[in-house]
Amino acid sequence: MQNEQESKRLQMVETQIRDRGIKDRRVLEAFRKVPRHLFLDEALRPQAYEDHPLPIGEKQTISQPYIVALMTEALRLTGHEKVLEIGTGSGYQTGILAQMAEQVYSIERIPSLAKRARKLLDDLKYTNVIINIGDGTQGWKEYSPYGGIIVTAAAPEAPDPLLQQLETGGRLVIPIGDEFQQDLVVYVKEGEDRYREENYGGVRFVKLIGKHGWKD
């Protein structure tokens, strides 16, 4: 029998994600599985499947479900990729990626968030996730190149190390703009120092803070 959170989650997938045009079956399936409410403080769990972002502490947010789905679909994952995520936050997007890629590397600059996400992802048995605490604007060269890189915070421009660490054909999904509004941009690596840009429209994210992002 479905519990209440699961039926809210299945409804969220239909009305907020599928009805708005997300078609990738693997994305829809991942959203049906990952228990978003567990990535929130208990007091916020009743709102977990509503159509808006929510606070996760440390002045950070978990994005609106549709935006997480849009960014995930934009990566065009097939299941065989190594994916790098910048901005682990609650770990919810990380869990979605873990369902859809072979291996996920995720970097978070705020230690308390990284530790909480690590514990929850361990409890949920996501064994294909490695989390690091640090400045994700510098990427994670050790495991590069990546088939996909997703940045869940807003940058003034695409950080050069992230472009360099993409494999040919790989996709970097990142909000680009000022601190108040951004466009969701995908950079597709076509060859050595050659990138094609796709624009997925307006979004609003917290700032990416680091060497190749905003200053604190």
Per CB under 6 A, contacts with ligand SAM among 132-171 are 135-137, 152-153
To the query of whether residue 90 is one of the catalytic residues in this protein, the response is no
Among 31, 92, 146, 187, binds ligand SAM (CB under 6 A): 92
Residue 96, CA distances (Å) to 36, 93, 110, 112, 132 in order: 10, 5, 21, 21, 18
Q: How far is the CB of 150 from ligand SAM (least distance, A)?
A: 8
Contact letters for ligand SAM, residues 6-45 (x by CB under 6 A): ----------------------------------------
Q: Does 66 bind ligand SAM (CB under 6 A)?
A: no
101 binds ligand SAM (CB under 6 A): no
| Segment contacting ligand SAM by CB under 6 A, of 21-29, 73-81, 162-170, 202-210 | 202-210
Does residue 110 interact with ligand SAM by CB under 6 A? yes
Longest CA–CA span in the chain (Å) reads 52
The rounded distance, in Å, linking the Cα atoms of 197 and 112 is 34
Alpha carbon distance 193, 85 (integer Å): 21
Candidates 84, 121, 184, 208: give the one binding ligand SAM (CB under 6 A): 208
Q: What are residue 99's phi and psi, to 5 degrees?
A: -75, -20
Angle of the 92-100 helix axis to the 111-123 helix axis, nearest 10: 50
Among 65, 89, 139, 161, binds ligand SAM (CB under 6 A): 89
CA atoms within 13 A on the CB side of 80: 2
